[in-house]
Amino acid sequence: MNKEEILTTLRKSFVRVLEHDNFELNETTTAKDVDGWESITHLLIMNDVEKAFNIKFKLMDLMSMENVGDLVNTVKKEIEV
């Protein structure tokens, strides 16, 4: 799965959890760029992403993510294992 395919699936998770699609999701996107992406919804988004890709994030990976690009790279790493 390439980065664009991962980004497409991630967007579906964001839309499902946030219940709107009024945002641009790219590798530089951060929580401050997306209305409703807050601490609680962040947990829900990460849970939905784990289900969508059938993966489990490591705590250190979650703590080191600074933007959607980091999330894409982490998902890519996990699905390639």
pLDDT, average across residues 14-18: 98
Domain count, the chain: 1
CATH number of the domain where residue 47 is located: 1.10.1200.10
14: Cβ–Cβ under 8 A, 6 or more apart, which residues? 23, 25, 34, 37, 45
Range of the domain at 59: 3-79
Residue 53's nearest CA partner among 18, 77, 21, 29 is 77
Q: Is the pLDDT of residue 39 over 80?
A: yes
pLDDT value of residue 23: 97
Model confidence pLDDT, tens digit, residues 49-80: 999 999 999 999 999 999 999 999 999 999 99
Q: Tell the residue number behind the tokens 């990460």, with chain if given.
A: 46
- Does residue 81 register a pLDDT over 90? no
Average pLDDT estimate for 26-36: 97
